[in-house]
């Protein structure tokens, strides 16, 4: 069976007429052309069934299109909502970026102030007391180094060694030549001595005088007139000595009393770690 479509009129060629001839029917008006009524009626029923199927298909398709339309409208509404949310988020981000930019500028200004303050308070080469990492609970700050004689590897003092203040237990004092070291010493001084005085006793002494007369010479007084001796003239004095008793001054310098004694002279103190800023 062959169908010819021409506008809204459908012509069908049927090859099963009773006389064996070809019959053509007008399906639109359900009027036969060169055909018997029986054949045209059968064909009309077939077309009605086909039209019903087509209409059902069209209706189902229309329903699916309506459903699809509703879905598209729903998606469109969601897209509009999302676009509005994105626009709001964009506005928020723009505001946030502006705030972040302002914050960044404020932080930069604060950093400059802190840097200037750091230079003002603790310039490079400053030595300060530190309780150490174990006590403080933090490592030595960046840009600082222990005063332990170690080599400086960074900053304007690179290549020098720190002064070993910690190892030698040194104090700091003002002076016109920074970095000059002095050993311990005792200043020249005087002591006041109280002397109660002392005396020496001399019990006295005497000298004996002798005179030897020549032969035949008589003495010069009544006591020695009869004492005549031969010989030559001579005289001498018997030596004597002073009898001075020894004595003591009573001066005494004693040991230190009422004081704490040790191998060094020092004030009361507390041990710390000296650190120096190197950059």
**Within-domain flag for 47:** yes
Q: Are residues 131 and 78 located together in one domain of the fold?
A: no
Q: Are residues 100 and 130 located together in one domain of the fold?
A: no
What local confidence, expressed as pLDDT, does residue 97 receive?
Answer: 86
Arithmetic mean of pLDDT, 33-38: 51
What global pTM score does this model have? 0.43
What local confidence, expressed as pLDDT, does residue 16 receive?
Answer: 43
What local confidence, expressed as pLDDT, does residue 259 receive?
Answer: 79
Reduce the secondary structure of the chain to three states and give it as a string. Answer: CEEEEECCEEEEEECCCCCCCCEEEECCCCEEECCCHHHHHHHHHHHHHHHHHHHHHHHHHHHHHHHHHHHHHHHHHHHHHHHHHHHHHHHHHHHHHHHHHHHHHHHHHHHHHHHHHHHHHCCCCCEEEECCHHHHCCCCCCCEEECCCCECCCCCCCCCECCCHHHHCCCCCCCCCCCCCCCCCCCCCCCCCCCCCCCCCECCCCCEEEEECCCCCCCCCCCCCCCCCCCCCEEEEECCCCCECCCCCCCCCCCCCCCCCCCCCCCCCCCCEEEEECC
What local confidence, expressed as pLDDT, does residue 233 receive?
Answer: 47
Residue that has been written with the tokens 């010479």 in this structure: 217
Q: Residue 144: which pLDDT band, with cuts at 50, 70 and 90? A: very high
Is it the case that residue 260 has pLDDT exceeding 90? Answer: no
**Within-domain flag for 79:** yes
Q: Are residues 10 and 104 located together in one domain of the fold?
A: yes
Q: Are residues 129 and 106 located together in one domain of the fold?
A: no
**Within-domain flag for 52:** yes
Q: Which of 114, 144, 159 is the last residue of a domain?
A: 114
Q: Are residues 25 and 154 located together in one domain of the fold?
A: no
Q: Are residues 279 and 151 located together in one domain of the fold?
A: yes
pLDDT digits over 110-126, tens only? 988 887 777 777 889 99
Range of the domain at 31: 2-114
Q: Are residues 110 and 136 located together in one domain of the fold?
A: no
- Residue with the larger pLDDT of the pair 105 and 9: 105
Q: Are residues 46 and 155 located together in one domain of the fold?
A: no
**Within-domain flag for 23:** yes
> How many structural domains comprise the chain?
2
What local confidence, expressed as pLDDT, does residue 186 receive?
Answer: 82
**Within-domain flag for 199:** no
**Within-domain flag for 92:** yes
Q: Are residues 102 and 131 located together in one domain of the fold?
A: no
Q: Are residues 142 and 82 located together in one domain of the fold?
A: no
Q: Are residues 272 and 135 located together in one domain of the fold?
A: yes
Q: Are residues 84 and 165 located together in one domain of the fold?
A: no
**Within-domain flag for 244:** no
């Amino acid at each position: 069976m062959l169908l010819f479509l021409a506008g809204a009129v459908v012509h069908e060629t049927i090859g099963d007429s009773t006389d064996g001839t070809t019959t053509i029917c007008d399906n639109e008006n359900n009027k036969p052309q060169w055909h018997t009524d029986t054949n045209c009626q059968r064909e009309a029923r077939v077309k009605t069934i086909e039209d019903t199927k087509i209409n059902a298909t069209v209706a189902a398709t229309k329903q699916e299109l309506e459903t699809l339309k509703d879905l598209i409208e729903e998606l469109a509404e969601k897209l509009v909502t999302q676009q509005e949310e994105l626009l709001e988020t964009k506005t928020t981000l723009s505001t946030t970026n502006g705030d972040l930019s302002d914050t960044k500028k404020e932080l930069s200004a604060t950093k400059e102030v802190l840097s200037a303050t750091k230079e003002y308070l603790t310039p490079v080469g400053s030595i300060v007391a530190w309780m150490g990492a174990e006590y403080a609970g933090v490592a030595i700050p960046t840009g600082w180094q222990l005063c332990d004689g170690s080599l400086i590897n960074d900053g304007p003092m690179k290549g020098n060694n720190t002064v070993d203040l910690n190892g030698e237990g040194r104090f700091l004092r003002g002076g016109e030549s920074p970095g000059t070291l002095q050993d311990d010493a005792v200043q020249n001084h005087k002591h006041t001595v109280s002397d109660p005085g002392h005396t020496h006793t001399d019990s006295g002494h005497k000298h004996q005088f002798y005179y030897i007369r020549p032969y035949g010479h008589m003495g010069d007084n009544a006591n020695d007139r009869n004492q005549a001796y031969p010989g030559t003239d001579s005289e001498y004095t018997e030596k004597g000595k002073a009898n001075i008793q020894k004595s003591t001054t009573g001066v005494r310098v004693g040991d230190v009393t009422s004081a704490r004694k040790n191998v060094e002279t020092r004030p009361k103190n507390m041990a710390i770690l000296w650190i120096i800023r190197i950059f």
